[in-house]
Chain A
């Protein structure tokens, strides 16, 4: 579900439909409330053979958002440690397949490959940027955290997060918009 707040920031609550994703444009500021799933390199490595074999994944990706992050450990009494985004491009090999299965969004930092951008158009998906290196600030938006799968991977396990007003920006939309390219062109001197 998507709505726009009075300050112009778009409010996003997964699960998302194709129609929801179409409302998001590169450069839009977004707050996400609800569930995110974490997965990064090693977890994606385990999802790939399952996808290739047509087997079910540890969570239903339909309409969901994957946050590329490997949090630092929580101090006792805290929900999580530092939890900022990792480089999205390392997951490029896996993302088109996940989008084909119904995944609607990913959150990371850094540029995505052309095949991922093409898949965002084809399957109506969106790539959000969270501020890299701002993991201390971002930890305040995480209200609950539990491991869903691959606990042996430690920080790379798949986790289910409940977030409130988690701040991101649309980097790649489903219409071909790219914030990184547009921003660089605007300010190059």
Chain B
């Protein structure tokens, strides 16, 4: 049994929250450059250039890339041979979020109840998903998930008869209805299969894959590429001002499902796709 102290988890989460909000990942920056090379719309190019400048300013001046520093979504892959000492895992993670958001001058966007809507003041609690896996390490993935695009995420139970074409149409419909509201160019994280709740979690997890990489499953890869191409023919464009760059990517994760079911969840993610991970 390997021991990991709660304070090490807190420190790691704090660092991930701050770094995610100040510095976009290199795959996102490369996506801006690729899009600048293909975008026909002058307004769209202008937006893409400003977003590149914004990323540079955020990184160098240590200002959040977007004022909505998001819900702290946290995926933990916990090795079964790890023993967390010195406190509870969830408490350690929330303390990391608390310190990261407070000390990093990040916006507190979480209310304690969806009904009384009183801000907790420190962006806690995180939305936490823990999966127990083999091994003696702990992988922590943090996503600072913006609210505007999250509000455009959707779920639908398709029927097995709807098939691949039905899945494609549903993802496209989600991108189209998100439109300018979701700060395009966007990324669609898609969970197909499992169950109602499993599909939604997969749709978030799918967003951690490096942008521009192929899906390891060639069948799913072909679906992703087709939907992405069709999304970019919608004309929505950067910031919805019209153009060719509506989406940077479509990332799909699948899971076995019941003979009656074809659940499909689509998490809409904006161009402020802030995510970091670490393995302890």
Hey, which bits of chain A sit against chain B, CB under 8 A?
A: 27, 42, 69-75, 81-84, 86-87, 89, 109-111, 129, 131-137, 139-140, 153-156, 169, 179-180, 182-189
Contacts and interface: CB of A to CB of B under 8 A. Distances in A.
A180 B241 contact: yes
Residue of B55, B63, B181 with highest tally of chain A CB at under 10 A: B63
B241 A71 contact: no
A86 B148 contact: yes
Contacts, number: 167
Contact of A73 (B107, B148, B272): B107
Interface string B237-280: 10111111000000000000000000000000011100000000
Contacts of B148: 86-87, 109-110, 132
Contact of B43 (A82, A84, A133, A183): A183
17 contacts: A72-B105, A74-B105, A81-B67, A82-B69, A89-B181, A109-B148, A111-B181, A133-B66, A134-B50, A136-B63, A155-B109, A179-B241, A180-B180, A184-B234, A185-B242, A187-B41, A189-B235
B51 interface: yes
B170 interface: no
A19 to B, nearest CB: 27
Interface of B: 40-41, 43-44, 47, 50-51, 53-55, 57-58, 61-69, 105-109, 117, 119, 121, 146-148, 151, 179-183, 233-237, 239-244, 270-272
B242 A183 contact: yes
Given A42-B117, A155-B109, 8 more contacts: A82-B65, A89-B181, A134-B54, A135-B66, A136-B61, A137-B50, A155-B107, A188-B234
Nearest to B118: A152
A187 B236 CA distance: 7
A82 B181 contact: no
Contacts of A89: 181
Instruction: Describe B's contact surface by its main secondary structure.
Output: loop
B181 A135 contact: no
A135 B47 contact: no
Contacts of B271: 133
A134 B271 CA distance: 10
B235 A184 contact: yes
A84 B66 contact: yes
Contact of A71 (B54, B67, B272): B67
Contacts of B237: 183-184, 187
Contact of A82 (B41, B58, B119, B147): B58
A75 B146 CA distance: 21
Contacts of B55: 136
Given A69-B67, A188-B234, A155 B108 contact: yes
A71 B107 CA distance: 7
A129 B151 CA distance: 19
Contacts of B179: 110-111, 180, 184
